[in-house]
Amino acid sequence: MAVFGYGRVSTVEQTADNQRLEIERAGYAVEYWFADVVSGKAHASQRAQFSAMQAKLRKKDTVVVSKLDRLGRDAPDVLTTIKTLAGLGVEVVVLQLGKLDLASPAGKLMLAMLAAVAEMERDLIVERTQAGLARAKAEGKSLGRPSKLTQEQRRAIVESHARKQSISSLAKQFGVSRSTVLTVVTPRLATSLASV
């Protein structure tokens, strides 16, 4: 009858410490803590730490998460994860939902609705991001990483290379990599790299 805590963050710059703290503040003495650094797009079964936790779970153990989206990428994934854990005889607690028996018919209904809403919110975020990028592109804004070289520097590199200055010496002179210099002096290479 152990208490397992599970957290998930999307990037290595983030930490799941706040999720653990939230679980402990809710009164759960976490005996085993597992946290993945993985995109929310990854299914629960594809997460290393979630799989490691699942392998340790025994009947009557409790898994506590702060929010529903920690359990899966979309509504079907969350429902499958809950069903799998319930099949092991494990109680699942989602702090966001309060004290709700997720294995009961009412719990399953609430879970399905909330998971569907969470999935819709994720889809809307993607849709808004794509619309914003399209608008920025239409307004002529340059997307992506800024160029390391100015137009004048690019011209100077091309002229120096035409006078037989080596790629390595140009890279040192302008403080960029050899591949950056190659991209400037070989337009076909830049075009083929962009299409990859």
In the predicted structure, residue 189 carries a pLDDT above the cut 50 = no
The answer to whether position 126 is within a domain reads no
Of 103, 120, 137, the domain-final residue = 120
> Which residue, chain included where needed, has tokens 């340790």?
56
111 and 39 share one domain: yes
What percent of the chain is helix, strand and coil (3-state, nearest 5)? 55, 10, 30
The domain total for the chain is 2
Residue 147 catalytic?
A: no
The answer to whether position 136 is within a domain reads no
The CATH number given to whatever domain includes residue 29 is 3.40.50.1390
9 and 74 share one domain: yes
8 and 94 share one domain: yes
The answer to whether position 129 is within a domain reads no
Mean pLDDT, residues 130-154:
87
Of 190, 111, 122, 128, nearest to 154 by C-alpha is: 190
The answer to whether position 25 is within a domain reads yes
9 and 78 share one domain: yes
16 and 107 share one domain: yes
The range of the structural domain enclosing residue 38 comes to 3-120
Q: Which of 10, 104, 169, 177 is catalytic?
A: 10
Q: Per-residue pLDDT tens for 25-47?
A: 999 999 999 999 887 677 887 88
Contact between 79 and 111 under an 8 Å Cβ cutoff? The reply is yes
21 and 95 share one domain: yes
In the predicted structure, residue 182 carries a pLDDT above the cut 60 = yes
Q: Per-residue pLDDT tens for 143-178?
A: 877 888 888 999 999 999 889 899 999 999 999 999
The answer to whether position 138 is within a domain reads no
112 and 183 share one domain: no
109 and 185 share one domain: no
Count of C-beta atoms within a 10 Å radius of residue 8? 26
